Chains A and B, each alone.
Chain A
Amino acid sequence: MQSLKVVGTSPPRIDEREKVTGAAQFVDDIEFGPNLLHAEIVESPHPHALIEKIDVSEARKLPGVMAVVTGKDFPYKYGLYMKDRYILAQDRVRFVGEQVAGVIARDARTARRAAKLIKIKYKPIKPVLDQMAAVRKQTVLIHPDLGEYPHVPWFFPQAGTNIAHWRKIRKGDLAAGFKAADVVLEDTYHISRYAHCCMETHIAVGQVDRSGRLTVWASSQSPHTQRNLFAEALSPLGFAHKDVRVITPHIGGGFGGKAGVTMEILAAAFATVVKGHPVKVRWRRDQEFYNTYMRQAVVSKLKIGVKKDGTITGFEMANYWDAGPFVEYGANVVNSSGLSATGPYSIPNIKIDSYCIYTNLPAAGPYRGFGYSEMLFGVESHMDRLARKIGMSPVEFRRKNGIRRGQSLTYGAGMNEGDLQQCVEKVAKIIRPEKKEVSKNPDKVIGKGMAVCWKGPAMPPNASSAAFLKFNEDGSLNILISGIDMGQGLLTVMAQIASEVLTVPVSKIRVEMPDTDRNPYEWQTVASHVTWSCGNAVRRAALDAREQIFETISRAYKYTPESLYLEEEQVKCHADPTFAVPLKGFVIDGIMLEDGTFRGGPIVGRGMFMPEFMSTKCDPATSQGGHPNPHYTLGAAALTLEVDKQTGKVRVLKVAEALDCGKAINPEMVRQQITGGFLQGLATALYEDMRFDPKTGRILNPNFTDYKIPTALDIPDEIIPVIVESPQHDGPFGARGIGEHPMIPVAPAVANALYDAIGIRFKSIPITAEKVAMAIKSGKKEVD
């Protein structure tokens, strides 16, 4: 391969100027004119109840109210992987906050006043607020008709129970595995719910114009998937895909919370009843907590056996996921992480059961890490404990057992490229977990810990990306994709990939946020897969454009296409060193021949990528066979922390986190993902602490006063991001994604470091200062 000129360098973000001048437009910044209407939602005060009667007559009478809608107006089910929810509740509500009715009015204040006039009579049903209670026999069923819900073929709902999906993995001989072990450790870990807390709350504006076409402006990670689900859900109203348009301007953070469809469908549906008017639905901060997705809580029961030499001989895990009342997306979190629950270890004897369980808490679903942050807390805590039990250093244990290329995955396929050992080595060298450090302050103790991580993109086997690339008269480029830049730097990275192929500098390339009418298909920007997938599409579009360029030159100048190459925005020829034609001269206008006729025309590249090797076909009883994940990205984090024995407060002094991204297209952006993702993970480990009313399941702290996310004063003293590069054979220039991964190993690394510091094993997160102080005071060695 020729040496790379642009890939592997760190030009500044191409959208940064817009963002620091206030020019960047988010949905709420778009002007819709004086005809804009505002919607207010009436929410259920009950966690579980039948709706007996809705009286909207008073609300309708209020001047300024344009329409009042209830479930009866939209009796349509929707969902990404399983159709288990309605646009507005039909005959039953399933959590406190569920949307029951909507008011559309001239202004937001009138909408709010009218919403208060709607009278709803409920008949409460006993709620199920805990996933372990939900799987007991004789429990209340949250979806009595679960057996009839349409779903993707790789889900296995258990009709007549609250189990929406059960992913089983069986491999090898587990009993023999445990028999061969010298140490078997069994324990249970509890992981709480968490919230994404994007700074921009969810917002969507829908409009059905007078010709009947539907446009939705949405802060979304998934414009094409939204278009598809809107068209499907509203198809009884006569919408074809071509008549549905989703426009996504800049989005103020995603983290998985803006994937799929949540509240955006309200804007789409409401627009159908007030044709000609745009309707805005903007979530308040409290609604953002309870009425999009949260991260699922999970109870992980683990049993792992190891030999004295560190060999892992048996692995048994049962994960009980609290998914809330709608699992249309969340069930795939359970599925995907269930397939990878061993963590980055190849283990011969495995039994894993992952249960996606309906509860009457708010709906839960994807959040940065997609289940892996949750289930790896237990696994990586357990591995540390086992290493200590056999007298092996936790670093050595991971170095020995860390999965290697070609080794068997839980479902039987071979592991892809990636160097976990190098990640472990590098972070261990920086933090030196074996070297004890002592604080000068007698009230403080220093501890060190580490954890490894992996994650593969969770996506249907036919999830695809497409790209168009258009040259302009001056040789500059517009690239059209539907991948979303929610801050991770996608637009810049796509420009770098095209620049590398076409030699057009990044400063001459514009990549913008998508409009489904204009930009080609992208499944969704989730799963840390767009650098890889959309990057492949852009690279192919650039190669396609290059082929057209060479073809045009070849027809005009009679050099063979094979003899031509690009250098500094010019076409050059191996056969003739004096030959050089600037792109600027012909990429639109073509090339004039001596007789005055022209050859060529506008260069428009097209590229597409679908991972044709993926398959979800397997034996449902064992999950053996198939290739449900395209690849995994590996990583490791190690850190030094200081505990104040009096207050229990934990401060991170130094952290190193290494990820094997295959090839860093823009190394600075990889380092920034690690820096930001680490802090997000640290907050889940230490203080983000969601509380629910034990009787109703109502969230008690849906705001930043009571649900604390990190401020600039809460950052580690020093963070060292490390890039490891083992090229991915099917990635653009060898790249694979790392967006979610920085968060994944943080919580177990903190728990392991806390054990190192104070000898107390915390088996649940968050590990708040209060929990730490109380544990020290009580002398407990283990805290559930």
Chain B
Amino acid sequence: MKKTITFTLNGEKRTVDVEPAEILLDVLRDKLGTKGPKYGCGRGDCGTCTVLLDGKSVRSCLMLAVEVDGRKVETVEGLSRGKPSPLQEAFIAHSSFQCGFCAPGILMTATELLRKNPRPTRGDVQEAISGNLCRCTGYEPIIKAVLSVTKKKNKK
């Protein structure tokens, strides 16, 4: 009972055959070679599999692949075509991530935040990324980097 789905992945139309029970995370990683989203818990607790679906952050481990048919999916791979995004540059400058396993998920959540709210407060950033767990950093260097993008925007 395979179903063929077509969706936009990081700006490119992709078509793939999936089983009805297959989850989006596995299809992205194993069938489409998009390894940015990671398996961390398989039940929506940790956020390492976060992708943007029509611009909104979702847990790809909790979505069925068939649900994205005809829709738009963005992953970390889509953020830096040509050169890193200002948010990615800010994370590099702050050495924000340690092990980096949570980074692809946090990048998507923070990208969503900055698109919706280009001038977030510290509290807004904390709230936005509170569904993405990071065990290494204590979150401070991540929050600082996101706020630094905001500051640059304020100067303009």
A residues neighboring B (CB under 8 Å): 10, 12-13, 15-22, 24-26, 28-29, 31, 196-201, 250-255, 282, 284-285, 486-489, 668-669, 672, 675-680, 703-705, 709-713, 715, 719
B134 within 8 A of A: yes
Q: Is the CB of A713 within 8 A of B130?
A: yes
Q: Is the CB of B95 within 8 A of A253?
A: no
Which of A21, A709, A712 has the most chain B CB within a 10 Å cutoff?
A712
Query: Contacts A20-B97, A668-B95, A712-B143 hold; do A199 and B138 have CB atoms under 8 A apart?
Result: no
Q: Is the CB of A250 within 8 A of B99?
A: yes
Shortest distance between the CB of B102 and any CB in chain A (Å): 5
Shortest distance between the CB of B44 and any CB in chain A (Å): 9
Query: Contacts A197-B135, A285-B41 hold; do A22 and B95 have CB atoms under 8 A apart?
Result: no
Q: Is the CB of A28 within 8 A of B91?
A: no
Instruction: State which of B41, B43, B46, B101 has its C-beta within 8 Å of the C-beta of A26.
Output: B101
Q: Is the CB of B138 within 8 A of A486?
A: no
Query: Contacts A16-B91, A284-B42, A703-B41 hold; do A22 and B77 have CB atoms under 8 A apart?
Result: yes
Query: Contacts A705-B45, A711-B131 hold; do A285 and B136 have CB atoms under 8 A apart?
Result: no
Shortest distance between the CB of B120 and any CB in chain A (Å): 12
Q: What are the residues of chain B within 8 A of A711 when measuring CB–CB?
A: 130-131, 133, 139
Q: Is the CB of A16 within 8 A of B135?
A: no
Q: Is the CB of B133 within 8 A of A704?
A: yes
Q: Is the CB of B35 within 8 A of A22?
A: yes
Q: What are the residues of chain B within 8 A of A20 when measuring CB–CB?
A: 76, 84, 88, 91-92, 96-97, 100, 103, 107
Instruction: State which of B39, B95, B125, B134 has its C-beta within 8 Å of the C-beta of A669.
Output: B95
Q: Is the CB of A16 within 8 A of B92?
A: yes
Shortest distance between the CB of A81 and any CB in chain B (Å): 26
B98 within 8 A of A: yes
Query: Contacts A199-B40, A200-B40 hold; do A21 and B88 have CB atoms under 8 A apart?
Result: yes
Instruction: State which of B92, B100, B101, B129 has its C-beta within 8 Å of the C-beta of A12.
Output: B92
Q: What are the residues of chain B within 8 A of A31 when measuring CB–CB?
A: 33
Chain B interface extent, by class: 35 or more
Query: Contacts A21-B88, A712-B125, A712-B130 hold; do A672 and B97 have CB atoms under 8 A apart?
Result: no
Q: How far is the CA of A18 from the CA of B95 in the complex (A)?
A: 11
Shortest distance between the CB of B149 and any CB in chain A (Å): 13
Q: Is the CB of A704 within 8 A of B99?
A: no
Q: What are the residues of chain A within 8 A of B95 when measuring CB–CB?
A: 10, 12-13, 16, 489, 668-669, 672
Q: How far is the CA of A276 from the CA of B107 in the complex (A)?
A: 38
Q: What are the residues of chain A within 8 A of B135 when measuring CB–CB?
A: 196-199, 253, 255, 676, 680, 709
Apart from A282-B39, A675-B137, what 9 extra A-B contacts exist at CB < 8 Å? A20-B103, A28-B29, A198-B135, A199-B134, A285-B41, A487-B99, A672-B141, A676-B98, A713-B126
The 4 A-B pairs of least Cβ separation, nearest first, read A487-B98, A252-B101, A19-B100, A487-B99
Shortest distance between the CB of B97 and any CB in chain A (Å): 5
Q: Is the CB of B138 within 8 A of A719?
A: yes
